[in-house]
């Protein structure tokens, strides 16, 4: 299939694929088993200029957008959805700065992210604020030239590993979601510490942990946009990173499909390869159809966003839901095709099935995504 | 520090086709890649440049398609690429190859260090590096696994041997050939790839480098390949069974029957 990528996009995809095949695939099972953070892989991405594909050229990036980010995430995820998250999670942490940062803030933080010298993370979720993001308890209180942050963020991707955190905190409780603000907090700021590293079902090479703010003083210039804009910063960011989750799911599904197809040609039962059985053939065909449909939707959604379109929430949510539900089905079928071997940890599809699950959950559960989609549909039809 | 790296095109597959008349590899039909050992030479050249400054030029003698491979070197940090290509170079052995390369290198001029891979994966002769040094009248060290120090007019390196390594000092300019232990070649970068797309490889023919055509190609190659063939395993061994005594008797009888040994 020709996806009509530009020459530079093809280059990005090819190089990311090379890193996935040559550098990630050989270590994916080990990093999953050990829960090892992929510092060495980030170095390869940095040296290849891939860390800044979605960052403007004047800040040291390649000047691409959401599509370029998705292409990298997809290819890396084909080999390991967890390792890919060091890159994708940084995108999630960087987009608030890209979208809402001042020139000064962009100059200060984006070049290091583009060069792969620093990783970023996004801190929204709390123990009582998941799907209902309005339940945020972390507070930021103005104090002269500073804000003082208090509270605990939970399940933060790249937590403890990242250098730059964009944090959503409450600056005015009485205003509800309109009382949230977004801040940039650097690792090493006194009062910021990290809690326990989570022991997860999948994406185990990714670090997920708590961020604890105790009288954490940050300068006022670290406020992103204006006070009260925090919820908008978060929503606009997630609109651009959900296609990234979709790309992660797409990559995981593709990796599982490739493994299952290869296995089906090698595995013989009843004197012939199992790929000669129609039951297996139809499973493979269905997997391929779904993956192809996801890829088309994800790429096109990215192009829609990169074109500067205003209303992108519904489209981003659709891509995320469809891709992640597909990844779950495809990886489950890949395990099924590989039978007992597929269930074993020495083969990669068992891990892929575990990795796929999170894509239906994080950056907004698929149930919440369907709410977003349905509300938009109803709004649009009312407008018409 | 001006560094020249010699690279060779080698078949990217094991499915190599041979020209039945000249008994040489048909290069334009094969899927070609940079000789893997030369990747280490390129990486080392770029690392030296990054450390002490200067420039890196890759040079190759080969078919026009080799220019595409030389672009890959530009994508990993090489500054310039020169391709020597001419019908007159066709069928070169290692002597004619090192002659042509030496003439090309003299044309580039102003070099401090020449880096080659220790050998190519097709011919496996490991001769061009040392032979090139002879042609240029400069010292050389083969199988370098580490450069300990390099500065104006001086290099100290570790030469890998069967049971360890030797430390060798040389004045520059000089030639080294490198082994894969020396580094881990980097992947290209996107910016490097974009640069390499626009880069025009410098193409020289035999006349451009002032080469004597009688010393080039098949004419200049004392090595003539008479025949190439794939060895056939058609020996069927026979396993002699029985007790040690029976086996010895059986073997002795066979050797006597074949008149390999005689009874006194």
Q: Are residues A375 and A235 in the same domain?
A: yes
Is the pLDDT score of B91 beyond 90?
Answer: no
Q: Are residues A289 and A191 in the same domain?
A: no
The chain-wide mean pLDDT, for chain A, equals 96
Contacts of B192 in chain A (CB under 8 A): 49
- In a 13 Å sphere around the CA of A270, the CA atoms on its Cβ side amount to 4
Of B189, B193, B197, the CB nearest to A47: B189
Is the pLDDT score of A344 beyond 90?
Answer: yes
Predicted confidence (pLDDT) per residue in B127-139, tens digit = 888 999 999 999 9
Q: Is A20 on the interface with B (CB under 8 A)?
A: no
pLDDT of residue B123: 74
Last residue of a domain, one of A228, A245, A268: A228
Gap from A89 CA to chain B (nearest CA, Å): 21
Q: In this structure, what CATH number is given to the domain that contains residue A213? A: 2.40.110.10
* Rounded mean pLDDT, A16-31: 97
**Residue A363 annotated in active site:** yes
* Rounded mean pLDDT, A69-87: 98
Contact B190 A44 (CB under 8 A): no
pLDDT of residue B15: 65
E strands, chain A, are 120-123, 139-143, 146-157, 164-170, 180-186, 192-197, 208-219, 223-224, 268-269, 272-273
Domain assignment of residue A125, given as a range: 121-228
Contact A18 B187 (CB under 8 A): yes
In the three-class reduction of DSSP (H, G, I as helix; E, B as strand; rest coil), residue A352 is classed as: helix
**A88 in any annotated domain:** yes
Contact B188 A62 (CB under 8 A): no
Q: Are residues A246 and A208 in the same domain?
A: no
* Residue of chain A with shortest Cα separation from B195: A8
Alpha-carbon gap, residue B98 to B211, rounded angstroms: 12
Phi and psi at residue B127, in whole multiples of 5°? -100, -30
* DSSP notation for B209-235: TT--GGGSTTTT-S-------------
Residue identified by tokens 């801190």 is: A123
Predicted confidence (pLDDT) per residue in B130-177, tens digit = 999 999 999 999 999 999 999 999 999 999 998 899 999 999 999 999
Residue among A126, A186, A363, A376 flagged as catalytic: A363
> Among residues A87, A58, A57, which one has the least CA distance to residue A70?
A87
The residue among B218 and A323 whose pLDDT is bigger is A323
pLDDT of residue B119: 87
Grade residue A17 by pLDDT with cuts at 50, 70 and 90.
very high
Is the pLDDT score of B30 beyond 80?
Answer: no
Contact B190 A50 (CB under 8 A): yes
pLDDT of residue B27: 62
**A199 in any annotated domain:** yes
Contacts of A7 in chain B (CB under 8 A): 197
Predicted confidence (pLDDT) per residue in A347-357, tens digit = 999 999 999 99
Contact A47 B186 (CB under 8 A): yes
**A384 in any annotated domain:** no
The chain-wide mean pLDDT, for chain B, equals 89
Alpha carbon of residue A20 to chain centroid: 16
Predicted confidence (pLDDT) per residue in A274-290, tens digit = 999 999 999 999 999 99
Last residue of a domain, one of A179, A202, A228: A228
* Residue of chain A with shortest Cα separation from B189: A48
Q: Kindly report the CA angle at B67 between B63 and B73, in degrees rounded to 5?
A: 130
Of B190, B194, B197, the CB nearest to A48: B190
Q: Are residues A260 and A170 in the same domain?
A: no
Contact A47 B193 (CB under 8 A): no
Last residue of a domain, one of A194, A228, A262: A228
Q: Are residues A45 and A149 in the same domain?
A: no
pLDDT of residue B124: 74
* Rounded mean pLDDT, B237-242: 86
Gap from B194 CA to chain A (nearest CA, Å): 8
Give the pairing of strands A268-269 and A272-273.
Answer: antiparallel
Q: Are residues A161 and A278 in the same domain?
A: no
Q: Is A302 on the interface with B (CB under 8 A)?
A: no
| CATH entry 3.30.365.10 includes domain B2-215 | no
Is the pLDDT score of A371 beyond 70?
Answer: yes
Domain boundaries, chain B: 2-215
Task: Return the C-alpha torsion angle A368, A86, B186, B198, nearest 10.
Answer: 40
Q: Is A19 on the interface with B (CB under 8 A)?
A: yes
Test mutation, A47, A62, A71, chain B, max B CBs within 10 A: A47
pLDDT of residue B86: 92
Of A11, A19, A44, the CB nearest to B193: A11
**A2 in any annotated domain:** no
Share of chain A above pLDDT 90, in %: 96
Contacts of B36 in chain A (CB under 8 A): none
User: How many domains does chain A divide into?
Assistant: 3
ipTM above 0.85, yes or no: no
Predicted confidence (pLDDT) per residue in A136-170, tens digit = 999 999 999 999 999 999 999 999 999 999 999 99
Q: Are residues A214 and A250 in the same domain?
A: no
Contact B190 A53 (CB under 8 A): yes
Residue identified by tokens 């964009």 is: A166
Q: Are residues A255 and A197 in the same domain?
A: no
């Amino acid at each position: 299939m020709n996806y009509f990528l530009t020459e530079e996009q093809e280059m990005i995809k090819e190089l990311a694929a090379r890193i996935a095949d040559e550098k990630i695939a050989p270590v994916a099972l080990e990093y999953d088993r050990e829960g090892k953070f992929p510092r060495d892989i980030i170095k390869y991405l940095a040296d290849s200029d891939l860390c800044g594909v979605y960052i403007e050229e004047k800040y040291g990036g390649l000047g691409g957008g959401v599509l370029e980010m998705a292409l990298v995430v997809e290819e890396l995820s084909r080999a390991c959805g967890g390792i890919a998250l060091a890159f994708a999670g940084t995108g999630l942490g960087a987009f608030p700065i890209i979208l809402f940062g001042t020139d000064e803030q962009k100059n200060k933080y984006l070049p290091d992210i583009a060069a792969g010298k620093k990783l970023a993370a996004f801190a929204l979720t709390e123990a009582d604020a998941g799907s209902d993001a309005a339940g945020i308890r972390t507070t930021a209180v103005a104090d002269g030239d500073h804000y003082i942050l208090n509270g605990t963020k939970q399940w933060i991707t790249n937590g403890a590993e990242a250098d730059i955190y964009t944090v959503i905190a409450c600056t005015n409780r009485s205003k509800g979601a309109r009382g949230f603000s977004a801040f940039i907090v650097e690792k090493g700021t006194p009062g910021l510490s990290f809690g326990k590293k989570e022991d997860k079902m999948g994406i185990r090479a990714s670090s997920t942990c708590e961020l604890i703010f105790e009288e954490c003083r940050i300068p006022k210039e670290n406020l992103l946009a204006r006070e009260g804009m925090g919820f908008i910063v978060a929503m606009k960011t997630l609109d651009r990173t959900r296609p990234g989750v979709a790309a992660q799911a797409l990559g995981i599904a593709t990796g599982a499909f490739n493994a299952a197809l290869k296995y089906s040609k090698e595995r013989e039962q009843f004197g012939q390869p199992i790929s000669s059985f129609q039951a297996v053939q139809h499973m493979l065909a269905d997997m391929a159809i779904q993956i192809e449909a996801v890829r088309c939707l994800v790429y096109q959604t990215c192009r829609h966003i990169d074109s500067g379109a205003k209303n992108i929430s519904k489209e981003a949510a659709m891509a995320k839901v469809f891709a992640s539900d597909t990844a779950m089905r495809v990886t489950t079928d890949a395990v099924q095709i590989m039978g007992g071997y597929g269930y074993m940890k020495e083969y990669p599809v068992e891990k892929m099935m575990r990795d796929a699950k999170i894509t239906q959950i994080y950056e907004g559960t698929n149930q919440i995504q369907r709410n977003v989609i349905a509300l938009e549909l109803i709004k649009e039809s009312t407008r018409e | 520090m001006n560094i020249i790296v010699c690279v060779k095109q080698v078949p990217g597959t094991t499915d190599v086709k041979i020209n039945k008349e000249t008994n040489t590899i048909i290069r334009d039909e094969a899927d070609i890649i940079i000789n893997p050992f030369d990747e280490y030479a390129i990486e080392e050249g770029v690392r030296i440049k990054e450390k002490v400054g200067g420039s890196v030029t890759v040079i190759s003698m080969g078919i026009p398609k080799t220019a595409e491979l030389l672009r890959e070197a530009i994508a990993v940090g090489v500054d310039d690429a020169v391709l020597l290509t001419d019908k007159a170079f066709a069928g070169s052995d290692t002597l004619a190859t090192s002659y042509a390369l030496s003439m090309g290198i003299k044309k580039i001029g102003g070099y401090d260090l020449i880096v080659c891979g220790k050998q190519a994966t097709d011919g496996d002769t490991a001769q061009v590096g040392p032979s090139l040094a002879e042609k240029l009248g400069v010292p050389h060290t083969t199988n370098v696994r580490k450069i300990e120090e390099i500065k104006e007019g001086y290099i100290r390196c570790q030469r890998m041997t069967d049971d360890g390594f030797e430390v060798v000092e040389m004045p520059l300019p000089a030639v080294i050939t490198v082994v894969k232990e020396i580094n881990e070649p980097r992947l290209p970068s996107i910016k490097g790839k974009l640069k390499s797309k626009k880069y025009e490889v410098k193409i020289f023919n035999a006349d451009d480098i002032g080469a004597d055509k009688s010393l080039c190609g098949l004419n200049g190659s004392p090595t003539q390949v008479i025949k190439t063939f794939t060895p056939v395993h058609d020996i069927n061994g026979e396993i002699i069974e029985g007790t040690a005594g029976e086996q010895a008797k059986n073997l002795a009888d066979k050797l006597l029957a074949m008149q390999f040994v005689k009874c006194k």
